[in-house]
Structure 1
Amino acid sequence: MHAVNQSAHDDIASLLDDSKLADALQADATSVLPVLKTSVENINQGLKKLYLEGAPVEEIVLGRAELLDRLLTTLFDHFFDPVRQEVALVAVGGYGRGELHPASDIDLMLLLKDEENAQTQDAIEKFIMLLWDGRLEIGHSVRTVDECVAEAAKDISVATNIMESRLLSGNTDLYNSMLTLTGPDRMWDNQSFFQAKLKEQILRNGKYNDTAYNLEPNIKEGHGGLRDIQMIGWVAKRHFGAASLYDLVDHNFLSEEELKTLLEGQQLLWRIRCSLHYLTGRREDRLLFDYQHQLAIEFGFKDDTSKERSNFAIEQFMQQYYRTVMELERLNEMLLQLFREAILYKDKPGEIVVINESFQIRHDYIEVTHKDVFKNKPTTLLELFLVNEQHPEIQGVRAETIRLIREHRHLINEEFRLSEEARRLFVHIIRQSRGVTHEFRRMNRYGILAAYIPAFARIVGRMQYDLFHAYTVDQHTLFVLRNLRRLSVPEFCHEFPLASGICHHLEKPELLYLAGLFHDIAKGREGDHSELGAVDALQFCLDHDLGRTDAELVSWLVKNHLIMSITAQRKDISDPDVITEFIDRVNTLEKLDYLYLLTMCDIRATNPKQWNSWKDKLLVELYNKAAQALQQGFENKTNRQDDIDHNRTYAFRHLSKEGLGTIEISAIWNNFTDEYFLRHKPAEIVWHTKLIMEHANKDTPVVKVRTDKRTGSMELFVFSRCVIHLFARIVSVLGQLNLNVADAFIMRGTSSCLLETYKIIFSDDMLEHIDHYAHEVVPQLLEKLTDRELSDLATMAVPRAQKHFQVETQISFTKVEDSGITRMHIETTDRPGLLSVIARTFIQCNISIHSAKISTAGETANDSFDITQANTYTPLSKPMQQELKQALLEQL
């Protein structure tokens, strides 16, 4: 039921000429199909034209169903005229509700009185074949009433389809019989139907990561999507026999304002879905990156011409979408809770357990003691969440109380935020030993968090248009909070033992949670979000009487929340100078503890695909080295030579125990540089030394791998005396195998030998194939290394999502102190074969590479290369740097 736009309705109705189809059916059989195809094409193109000219989406969706009703009824009445008392034509699914989006399937059921006889079978075959040949996307089933009853009894989705079906033509008694025999007094009574549909929604939500805020959301199946609206309609129809959502107002389940919100949300989702179908020419319900920009422009959003906000239209469009589905999600929760109370507890008044003058528990759900609680004492809008935390027996908030929260959110104003009671309550909420994650999610869902912290309101539903961040900023923030809290739960301490141990000994874990809450709060503002967020965090903590020292710690964590990740992933943490630079920023063990926990939980909450055991290992290694350095004191810091001597000594002892003599070891090690002993741990040096010794009398290169499933990594070792362009050959093979290089070290020995080591990391979904790749990589490398010529660069397909993100290439050079090395840093768009392109450019520009540190975040590659001039092994001059930069820019 909706307000009819009569002009659009008339235009749509005129798209089908019923008389032409009827005349063709009365003529010879060959004239039907051309007329049908023309009719279908007229409907499809006519509706598209009207939509693009601004016809209301409701008219398009409902009008398409009405046109198909007319067309299908005409065809059915013709083919089934002799047996119309034996068959009923029934619309099911979305078509049963009278809704048909441009590319949606037309779901039909042919309901039979008895098993098919020859006459009905012939009619069915001719009817269905004509529909297919006429280019109608139909889905159909053929069932008797008994079969429908049997299927509906065991499958809730079949029962739902039947419940919202419509009779188009045929035997009315047959159709009514099916409805009666599958009604709530025969099967799936109100309670069992509600519980089954609720379970269905929970499973569906789990499939979409329990959040509506994925960056390529499914507008039909995701949280707050069309399925959630349909869910309300299904339960209302089963319980009340409600024909539409409007009936819920009459039953006092929805206010007029809530109905308006629901219908406006449905209208937006219908518009997006309709546009997606027309844009793609198929049934597409995912808001993929491929379509977001075009849809944003279609919906009236404009791009900002400034470089920093080049995706402004997309971000604004998607924020409108996310905020809409958040509101729909709130309504869905409230209505389902109302249904729960009306259906499951209809005749059970329930014992009331009074908590205080404001709140009580009924049926395990919290509610206000009277409807003026929030009006009389606004701070109870925060107190409710604290009470939830303190009473683990509470399973949720009763629907009427949710409604009252929504109606009284406006009371959280500046006066409210300045009140000592509100501030005290907020600090108590974040300090509780249980329930913090759940209640902050609930506060966000009900709009309380955004009302209390205005800066948080700006990030609600804000997307970051890249491949690195998988969620909106507010959802990412809540995932960080969840991860931090999980570290303190004993049953999960085995997941990250070091982190859980540190967390257990934190004196004030609430400071960590506040840092997590504020670390990205300035995203989307102009300027450095870390700097801006640090200012917000400091003021908030001071306002909430946390003390200057604690406030400054939270502010410092927000300002520096990226430095540990950058250091671990982009720098050589085997270099004592890197550790020194890091601890100069951190300077206390307390800060290091907090920063390590925040960093780990931040990365894990950014994108499920970004976290892996290798990153865990790097962070743990950096934490341990920094902690050791801080414990020793700044005056006792180790230097490069200490680490070199340590690694040599321990490796030598191990090799000696295995029976290798000093002369044998020295003969190999005399070729090795100090940088090699600095970069490799004793166990790695032992492995390399033994491999070289085993192949001492062979001319072919040494190529070996070993895997570590615990860290999700593979170590590749290559030793050669005669292969040119070794790095380029190796990264070419690794790229073709789609292997992810995280670290590379290249050593030119004193006797013209080349030793190269590579760290290759595997994502969790590839980890099960690590043994396969370990088996594949060696023979493929040996083949490439023995080829006389460097093979042509293979063309590799760019993943779909990656095509929509371009990072402007930035290249810079610095001189590494006390060495002959130039360090080149490059930031560019990640793509298959990127390392191969860079390696071949080095060859072209006569550059030698000594080490590489590879870091990829979404679509952005951040890589560092230690390089020299190939002939002289000296740093690059300014002209050479410019020549190399220009050559790389041309390639990238």
Structure 2
Amino acid sequence: MKKGSESYEAILRRTDEIDKLLITLFETAEKEKGGLKIALLSQGGYGRRELCLYSDIDLLFLYEGKEKTSLKSFAEKVLHPLWDVGLEVGFATRTVSDCEELMQEDLTILSSLIDGRYLAGDRGLFNNFESMKEKFFSSLALREKFFQQKSKEDEDRWHKYGGSVYLLEPHLKEGEGGLRDYHTLYWFARIAQGLTNPQDFGKNGLLSSEDFHHFWKAINFLWRVREELHRLAGRRQDQLLFEHQETIGRLLGFSNTPQFLGVEQFMQQYYRHAATIRRISKKAVRECLIQSLRGSTPVEHTSEDSHFRIVEGKLSLGTPGLFQKDPLCLLKVFHIARHHGVEIDDSTRGEIARNLSSIDDSFRSSAPAASLFRAMLRESGGLGRMLVQMNETGVLGKFLPEFEKLHFRAQHDIYHLYTVDVHSIFAVGEFEKVLEGKYAESHPTFTEISKDLKRNDLLAFAILYHDIGKGEGKGHVEKGAPLIRRAGDRLGFSSAELDLLEFLERSHLIMTHLAFRRDLEEQNLIIRFAKSVQNLENLNLLCLLTFCDVHAVSPEAMTSWKASLLEYLYLKTREVLRSGDYTPERVSSHLGKIRGAVGSLLPRQNDLEEFDHFFQSMPSRYVMSASPETVAYHLRLWRKLESDRIVFDWRILSREGLNEVTLLTLDTPGLFSKMAGIFTAHNINILRAELSVSKLGYALHTFFVTDHGGLLISDVETWESIFQDLRAVLSGRVRIEDLVSEKFSPSLFKKKVAQKLPSRIDIDNDVSAFYTVIDIYAHDRVGLLYQVTTTLTALGLYVDVSKISTKVDQVADTFYVKDIFGHKITDESRLKRVKEVLVEVLEKEPTPDWRVPL
């Protein structure tokens, strides 16, 4: 692929070739036009001479006369050869009067007419068309109306296509920082300044020579990417899908390094160029508006600092040369803008950019700068927005050089929606929301935690720097610890505070791992975690950091279910920390408390005797973990076993946004895998499974599930159908394999194609006192859990707890297993065999007649 400005040259050559073809076709069709005057014009991207590989060819047949039959015959003579070779051609036939009327009625048509370029035919007719447009542009009222409408369209477009430059799958044309932003600038410049060639943007003061250089380089990069994307997709495709990014990055010359993937370097470059297009086009569009709509008096007032003023709702410099005289104002300007709730205007941003070199090592280590920045972190309201502006202008990276390496840093997985720098700043914004009580209703525990914080600035800085190691490549936790300590020392945090910052950096992934991947009823696990955090203040800080981190990954990352798991881990750990007793023996008093609480929920005295019988038959893990309400609920279901061999019940957990499903029946080998198969057949996702077997041989299995879209299921008929299938399978009338192959339709839920990572199996005999823990990491596919549980059963392993974690394209499933005798699996040869069989299952694509490879 051509590089640099040669991308533009390649597009020009393609445009010229189509021009020649159309001119030839026009001349060939001349005899068909009769007495009509006809001029052929190109429009849209073709009119701007920006014809990418599979772009539409938009044409306008401008005519004068009344012989419509001749016009139709003439147009067909030109168009049919183009259609015959498969070109996408759009066209319109209009008179100059038609165009004028349309422009008066619908200003959106003006965009395509602005781009109208003469190709062939009556030159006088084309000149009339141009004169009509110039007359239209001369009307101040119409210009203002067009500018306002186009600005509103842009706002709507940005919102529709994600509202950010830093999206996982950006739209090259319509997204923020895409080619449409350049088109908007072209239209505004055409109307306000009469520019017809984008190469003139840097010649008449609209853009500085430096801005034009960066802007044109960015536009050319997007054209290069768009060309390759069209070629790769074999059609017009303008959204840079995840599945294409690695290939296009490689085609553009980006290769893997020991620190970063080639595709991550490619996307970093894309984000940098898209941000340049957004920044410069917005600034230049505002300049066009000022030039075009001169005459109105700007609204101006001063701020509390005489060096600044607020003009038209933006902060502006009131003292020339201020940043040279007092470099500390390079920080103070953001503090003042935040106080007034305004943006910083373009001219002031330009002054900031020209003075960034003043932020040197001496500035960064100065006490006034450090004190001001900590004060900015400490104050409430507008912190996230302030950091965004500091990041956009380059001040944040200059003042915090470790953070500069995160700028535009992509994370090549479907889970992370934003670049590392944007994610980190968004996480600080989530912290602000917690402090402001915006999660008081949905997540009250986290809101209550925030009320006890002593140092908001310390936690805000820890959140901002929690992924700082990603600027150094792989192993970001270990690499990030010394970086946050160094930066914190520069900002004047005390030695004890530096220890705390380092602890938060090293520990920021632990709570998600434990909450989403581990059995929280394992008391030893909670005790070990409590020992690692040491005290309640550390736990509070780490919990809030974790909550904000997950929330900032993407709008869907922190589900109600995940929040409830994180809250449960926090509450259990807080209980251990408050008790001051780290011995598991202290929990024995729990039995008496449970008995009393359940007794208060049961209406009759003999119910309590029945409870004793039920409780004594259940395994200790159930006894220690079940809440009184859950025990009373299970006891009511237990009674139904007297009249039915299979008890099946479901209920809605509204707060968590899922369903709890309970099965009570005689335990049989493979019961869990059969349930997984039934849920698979009905396209239901299992998020967690808790499996208990009583001493009497009854299975009490609880599943927490959603539909395939992550929503709870309230349709009674669905549950009735599941129950009927369950009866048929457990009675032996239907084989689970047949049910799955009959009902299961994976094509309905085709997943986004992603870079497929190798499957991995980790087996741990240390994390649990009672179970062997198997962690499975694999590319997700519908029915995977059914295959895994069936395989575990075939290997003679019994699952008591399962946690299912899916990050869009990758699953991380955890199984707590025992052998048939209730013991851990410790034999090395057997563990090796378990790994080998599971890997084979994970790596092979499933077929309708799939069987465990034993």
TM-score (norm 2): 0.90
Structure 1 pair 96–718 and aligned structure 2 pair: CA distance change class (3 A): same
User: How is 1:711-726 mapped onto 2 (pairs within 5 angstroms)?
Assistant: 711-721=656-666, 723-726=668-671
Contact 1:809/1:829 (<8 A) preserved:
no
Q: One-letter code of the match for 1:536?
A: L
Cα deviations by residue, 1:255-310 (Å, 9 ceiling, x for unpaired): 11111111111111111111111122111122223222222222222223x5xx5x
Does residue 433 of structure 2 align to residue 480 of structure 1? no
Aligned match of 1:844: 794
Q: Distance in 2 between matches of 1:695 and 1:109?
A: 78
* Cα drift, residue 672 of structure 1: 2.2
Aligned match of 1:38: none
Cα deviations by residue, 1:130-177 (Å, 9 ceiling, x for unpaired): 432231111223444454344433444311111122132344454454
Aligned match of 2:90: 139
Aligned match of 1:741: 686
Aligned match of 2:170: 217
Q: Distance in 2 between matches of 1:674 and 1:511?
A: 42
Cα deviations by residue, 1:820-846 (Å, 9 ceiling, x for unpaired): x33323333333222122112112212
Q: Distance in 1 between matches of 2:812 and 2:121?
A: 67
* Cα drift, residue 239 of structure 1: 0.8
Partner-residue secondary structure (3-state), 2:412:
coil
Q: Distance in 1 between matches of 2:360 and 2:707?
A: 49
* Cα drift, residue 579 of structure 1: 2.4
Contact 1:75/1:127 (<8 A) preserved:
yes
Aligned match of 1:196: 149
Q: Distance in 2 between matches of 1:758 and 1:648?
A: 25
Q: Distance in 2 between matches of 1:448 and 1:382?
A: 8
Contact 1:706/1:774 (<8 A) preserved:
no
* Cα drift, residue 365 of structure 1: 1.8
Aligned match of 2:482: 535
Aligned match of 1:829: 779
Which moved further from structure 2: 323-332 or 638-647?
Answer: 638-647
Residue 109 of structure 2 is aligned with which of 138, 153, 158?
158
Contact 1:354/1:360 (<8 A) preserved:
yes
Does residue 603 of structure 2 align to residue 657 of structure 1? yes
Aligned match of 2:120: 169
Aligned match of 1:119: 70
Q: Distance in 2 between matches of 1:335 and 1:598?
A: 39
* Cα drift, residue 559 of structure 1: 1.9
Contact 2:524/2:768 (<8 A) preserved:
no
Q: Distance in 2 between matches of 1:686 and 1:151?
A: 72
Structure 1 pair 365–866 and aligned structure 2 pair: CA distance change class (3 A): closer
* Cα drift, residue 634 of structure 1: 3.1
Partner-residue secondary structure (3-state), 1:464:
coil
Which moved further from structure 2: 547-556 or 342-351?
Answer: 342-351
* Cα drift, residue 862 of structure 1: 2.6
Q: Distance in 2 between matches of 1:301 and 1:856?
A: 29
Residue 159 of structure 2 is aligned with which of 180, 203, 206?
206
Aligned match of 2:840: 890
Q: Distance in 1 between matches of 2:716 and 2:76?
A: 53
Contact 2:36/2:63 (<8 A) preserved:
no
Q: Distance in 1 between matches of 2:297 and 2:840?
A: 75
Q: One-letter code of the match for 1:290?
A: E
Aligned match of 2:624: 678
Residue 428 of structure 1 is aligned with which of 346, 351, 375?
375
RMSD, aligned CA: 3.0
Q: One-letter code of the match for 1:102?
A: L
* Cα drift, residue 127 of structure 1: 3.9
Q: One-letter code of the match for 2:39?
A: A
Unaligned runs of 5+ in 1: 1-50
Contact 2:229/2:237 (<8 A) preserved:
yes
Cα deviations by residue, 1:617-636 (Å, 9 ceiling, x for unpaired): 11222222223333333369
Structure 1 pair 530–344 and aligned structure 2 pair: CA distance change class (3 A): farther
* Cα drift, residue 752 of structure 1: 2.6
Q: Distance in 2 between matches of 1:886 and 1:773?
A: 37
Q: One-letter code of the match for 1:584?
A: K
Which moved further from structure 2: 523-532 or 828-837?
Answer: 523-532
Aligned match of 2:522: 575
Residue 103 of structure 1 is aligned with which of 54, 64, 81?
54
Q: One-letter code of the match for 1:685?
A: V
Partner-residue secondary structure (3-state), 2:315:
strand
Which moved further from structure 2: 377-386 or 666-675?
Answer: 666-675
* Cα drift, residue 100 of structure 1: 0.3
Does residue 817 of structure 2 align to residue 867 of structure 1? yes
Residue 72 of structure 1 is aligned with which of 19, 22, 27?
22
Which moved further from structure 2: 202-211 or 508-517?
Answer: 202-211
Structure 1 pair 54–489 and aligned structure 2 pair: CA distance change class (3 A): closer
Partner-residue secondary structure (3-state), 1:338:
helix
Contact 1:707/1:770 (<8 A) preserved:
no
Structure 1 pair 495–717 and aligned structure 2 pair: CA distance change class (3 A): closer
Cα deviations by residue, 1:742-771 (Å, 9 ceiling, x for unpaired): 211222222332221111246886358777
Does residue 226 of structure 2 align to residue 279 of structure 1? no
User: How is 1:477-876 mapped onto 2 (pairs within 5 angstroms)?
Assistant: 477-490=424-437, 493-525=440-472, 528-634=475-581, 639-654=586-601, 656-657=602-603, 661-666=607-612, 668-699=614-645, 701-721=646-666, 723-761=668-706, 766-767=711-712, 774=719, 777-788=722-733, 789-791=735-737, 794=741, 796=746, 799-814=750-765, 819=770, 821-870=771-820, 875-876=825-826
Q: Distance in 1 between matches of 2:427 and 2:561?
A: 20
* Cα drift, residue 849 of structure 1: 1.8
Cα deviations by residue, 1:551-602 (Å, 9 ceiling, x for unpaired): 3333322221112212211122233333222221222222222222211111
Unaligned runs of 5+ in 2: 843-854
Q: Distance in 2 between matches of 1:470 and 1:753?
A: 45
Structure 1 pair 524–314 and aligned structure 2 pair: CA distance change class (3 A): same
* Cα drift, residue 875 of structure 1: 4.2
Q: One-letter code of the match for 2:684?
A: L
Q: Distance in 2 between matches of 1:54 and 1:359?
A: 40
Q: Distance in 2 between matches of 1:645 and 1:528?
A: 47
Q: One-letter code of the match for 1:235?
A: F
Cα deviations by residue, 1:771-801 (Å, 9 ceiling, x for unpaired): 7865654344344333453416658468453
Cα deviations by residue, 1:92-117 (Å, 9 ceiling, x for unpaired): 11111111000111112334446773
Aligned match of 2:852: none
Aligned match of 1:4: none
Structure 1 pair 188–706 and aligned structure 2 pair: CA distance change class (3 A): farther
Which moved further from structure 2: 139-148 or 564-573?
Answer: 139-148
Contact 2:406/2:470 (<8 A) preserved:
yes
Structure 1 pair 811–636 and aligned structure 2 pair: CA distance change class (3 A): closer
Residue 467 of structure 1 is aligned with which of 414, 418, 443?
414
Partner-residue secondary structure (3-state), 2:210:
helix
Cα deviations by residue, 1:320-376 (Å, 9 ceiling, x for unpaired): 112222222221232233334334555425545265453222223222235422233
Partner-residue secondary structure (3-state), 2:372:
helix
Cα deviations by residue, 1:697-743 (Å, 9 ceiling, x for unpaired): 224x2222212232111111112226542111111222344433221
* Cα drift, residue 651 of structure 1: 3.0
TM-score (norm 1): 0.87
Q: Distance in 1 between matches of 2:104 and 2:654?
A: 47
Partner-residue secondary structure (3-state), 2:469:
coil
Structure 1 pair 185–731 and aligned structure 2 pair: CA distance change class (3 A): same
Contact 2:693/2:699 (<8 A) preserved:
yes
Question: How many residues align structurally?
Answer: 833
Residue 294 of structure 1 is aligned with which of 247, 262, 276?
247
* Cα drift, residue 804 of structure 1: 1.7
Q: Distance in 1 between matches of 2:368 and 2:823?
A: 68
Residue 230 of structure 1 is aligned with which of 183, 193, 202?
183
Contact 1:84/1:170 (<8 A) preserved:
no
Structure 1 pair 521–817 and aligned structure 2 pair: CA distance change class (3 A): closer
Structure 1 pair 837–296 and aligned structure 2 pair: CA distance change class (3 A): same
